[in-house]
A = this chain, B = another copy of it.
Amino acid sequence: MQRIAYPGVAGSYTAEAAATLYPDAELYSAGTFAEVFADVRDGKADAGVLPIENSLAGLVVETWDLVSDGSLPICGEAVLHIPHCLGVLPGTTLDAVTDVYSHPVALQQCRVFLNGRFEQHGVSTTSDAARNVAEGGDRTRAAIGSPIAMRTYGLEVLVEDISDHVENFTRFIAVRKGAPLPYADGVAWRTALRVITGHKPGALHDAIEPFRYHGVNMVSLHSRPIPGEPWRYQFAVDVDGHPSEDAVARALGDVERRSALLVVLGTYPAAVRP
């Protein structure tokens, strides 16, 4: 049986995404995001599942920074609806709550609800937040996370669906060791790229022009700073298609010639967007 690593603890959104991608596998928590990567690299896990992008907060930079060297190719994705709720020790009222714990991205997604009323504490995952509140036994504390996480740790859902927008989705990726997935027919392929542009004015425009020229659809583009090179940027680009398809292959060849660095971070069947 395949072993699949995810970060954080049971009951997290990422554990749910791992179950969606690998319904017949043994799933286990490897700890931090970096530990998930290490387990896959060391062969302790066959694949690892991590959040990569949220429809409100944007790129999950910690995951992209890990995946951006291309050493573990992306081999799959899953998209989940994220209905955040406020969880408390059973019987606690909202008046009693002074401190709210969650992942910093989740706190940011509930800005309207939080509205400066509570002291906010960032922890590593939403399910860690639920566990901390459950184990702390302190009625001034509440956690933001999924209803599943609250149930898992015996918390009560005090307020449902507290995200600023109901259309709150998170995209997760799976990474594994070895070569990118080979082409197969009948699959809506998507390919993740890392592009570092040259220093000249117009460099970004020139670097992405070949996608347009060869009719390759650019699904998303995120800029990230380059550590150690202030004010220069690299880009996370997702395109439709597989690197073995003619148009994509030609576009990638042109992009490579026009940029300082191009890395294919993986190719995977696109998930259905809910």
Contact = CB atoms under 8 A, between A and B. Distances in A.
A108 B165 contact: no
Interface in A194-245: 201-202, 204-206, 208-209, 211-212, 215, 217-225, 227-231, 233
A55 B167 contact: no
Given A61-B108, A120-B123, A205 B222 contact: no
A91 to B, nearest CB: 26
Contacts of A204: 208, 218, 221
A168 to B, nearest CB: 8
A231 B218 CA distance: 12
The count of identical subunits is 2
A116 interface: yes
Query: Chain A binding site: helix, strand, loop or mixed by DSSP?
Result: mixed
A212 B208 contact: no
A62 B218 contact: no
Q: How large is the interface on A (under 10, 10 to 19, 20 to 34, 35 or more residues)?
A: 35 or more
Question: Of residues A31, A123, A206, which shows the largest number of chain B Cβ atoms within 10 Å of its Cβ?
Answer: A123
24 contacts: A31-B116, A34-B116, A55-B231, A57-B61, A57-B225, A62-B108, A104-B104, A107-B122, A119-B123, A120-B122, A120-B123, A121-B123, A122-B123, A165-B227, A167-B230, A168-B230, A201-B215, A201-B217, A205-B208, A220-B223, A220-B231, A220-B233, A222-B223, A230-B273
Given A120-B124, A169-B231, A222-B223, 20 more contacts: A34-B116, A35-B116, A54-B225, A55-B230, A56-B227, A58-B61, A58-B223, A58-B224, A58-B225, A120-B123, A121-B121, A201-B212, A201-B217, A202-B212, A202-B217, A205-B208, A205-B218, A219-B231, A220-B233, A231-B273
